[in-house]
Structure 1
Amino acid sequence: MFEVDPTVFSAGATSTFTADQMGGSASTLVTLDTTANTGVGTGWIAFNGFTDSAVPVNGTFLGSDWQLWAEFDYTVAPQNPADTIAPGIDLFLTSLTFDIYGASGVDVEFNPTAITDFVDPTVDTSAATGVQLIGTGNLVAGVIEPTSQGGNAFNAFSTYSNTAFGDTFFVDPVPFYNVAFNDFNNTSQQIETDGDLVRIVSTGAVDFNVNAVPTPATMGLIGLGLIGLGFTTWRRRLS
């Protein structure tokens, strides 16, 4: 559970609200390198709402007079080193960085990658007002694995830290949570390929918790835990 003060961005909002998750849609372009057997992904998440115990939080004014998004980059490698990297195989996240931003108004433009051009998805803030960096995060452990429907499930456990401005947006708890959980999924219709390029559209959520950040010596064990357990179950054991 966390408390948000939207008035730092929103002209319409008049009070704080509580939530336990923020959801949105993501656009990602992954470039595969079969020689190095790795992949590089870049993209954004446009957040469109908050929930509290799965119930939508109303009256946030998100999307009507302020915007919230994340920009991210990651690298991946096969979980089985004998596999050649390709869509549909089990992957480890080997790095992940993300930044969460907010802005007043609705002038931020989200440009997705498309099957016609396969260019990097971008966020255009040139016409936006009051853009602020809220917080940043880095990978602790994560996986991308195929689903039975032909899509993929992206699950990551990351460090998280508010900026000074972020402390005026995420106002409770104090200090704010120090880890973030990222859970995004897509169907087979939301993946398109062109040679070594993979275009992905997905939906999902980000939530936060407080936990001692694992040392490098234990990160490998966490990676094994992500494979061996359903991510939701694993997350509950941390909380």
Structure 2
Amino acid sequence: MKFNTVVKSLALTAGLAASFSSSAEFLDFSIDESAYGGGIVTGDKFNGSYFEELVFDGSGGFTTGAFASLTSLVSEEATVPVASSVMGLDLGGIGYNLYAVLTASGTANATETEFTATTATFSIYIDPSHDTTSDDVLAGTVTDISGDDILLGSASTVVNAYGQYENGTGNFNFDFTDFVLTTDGESFFVDPIPFYSIVTVNGDFDTLGTLPDVSGDLSAVFTVKVPEPSTVAVLALGLVGLGMTGRRKNK
């Protein structure tokens, strides 16, 4: 096999891999707000605030449940608010609330100033009636008075999940690797298709000194796109072809 053919095969395979394995820090996504008085808007990050109950058991473990209101969509590397969004606004009955529920449990250090989650869940909902509030966040439940909230997507596989604080303030991070949209979610998150599989949820503590009640700021960023099946197939064919040419050369 000629050397330049090997180079071309390697370049093709590497290029295909890069098309779905590389990602910017903030990747764009589009949401369709037409059902709530808006249109299709594009951003790269959700911002909001949250309330949670963070409980340490005194034996090296913790549990937490958080209710987060996602009140802002931003773009341009998370620097510019998306002004056309009706998210979180009540425009004469038009608009909606977007919220997330986060639960986690795991281990804590002896001083209970650092903790690592071993299990966690994350779910995003639309609240068309603006009537859902945190109820028993430790159990991950909320009160939906009208019964009309819509689950958009969820995840339950978490890595790089930790929190730390000192003198009443701190920060946390959760990387969920299996975020999946529901059918309703696919009508709301309309681009990219398929949607991102990893969502990073992070933020800070504002009132950690009043345990178990904690509040602060939170953001959600989608970081990795699920590769198109056709792209995976072409990549596989490229790898197979490269292997076959190598076998012919060795004969």
**Normalised by the shorter chain, which TM-score bucket?**
0.7 to 0.9
Deviations 1:189-236 (A, max 9, x none): 45303xxxx211010200102168xxxxxxxxxxxxxxxxxxxxxxxx
Deviations 1:23-60 (A, max 9, x none): 1111110221123x100001211111100021111121
**Equivalents in 2 of 1:204, 1:98: separation in Å?**
13
Residue of structure 1 equivalent to 2:181? 162
Paired positions, count: 190
**Equivalents in 2 of 1:103, 1:211: separation in Å?**
26
Answer yes or no: is 1:62 the counterpart of 2:80. no
Q: Equivalent of 1:18, from 39, 42, 54? A: 42
CA contact (8 A) 2:154 2:181 kept: yes
**Equivalents in 1 of 2:197, 2:152: separation in Å?**
13
Q: Please identify which structure carries the higher helix content.
A: 2
Answer yes or no: is 1:51 the counterpart of 2:62. no
What is the CA distance between 1:74 and its match in structure 2? 0.2
- Match of 1:98, SS state, is strand
- Match of 2:195, SS state, is coil
Amino acid in the other structure paired with 1:49: S
**Equivalents in 2 of 1:146, 1:38: separation in Å?**
16
TM-score, length-normalised on structure 2?
0.69
CA contact (8 A) 1:92 1:143 kept: yes
Q: Equivalent of 2:110, from 67, 77, 84? A: 84
* Gaps in structure 1 of 5+ consecutive residues: 114-118, 213-239
Residue of structure 2 equivalent to 1:6? 33
Report % sequence identity: 22
* Gaps in structure 2 of 5+ consecutive residues: 1-27, 227-251
CA contact (8 A) 1:39 1:85 kept: no
Answer yes or no: is 1:202 the counterpart of 2:213. no
CA contact (8 A) 1:186 1:201 kept: yes
**Equivalents in 2 of 1:112, 1:152: separation in Å?**
23
**Equivalents in 2 of 1:7, 1:164: separation in Å?**
16
TM-score, length-normalised on structure 1?
0.72
- Match of 1:165, SS state, is helix
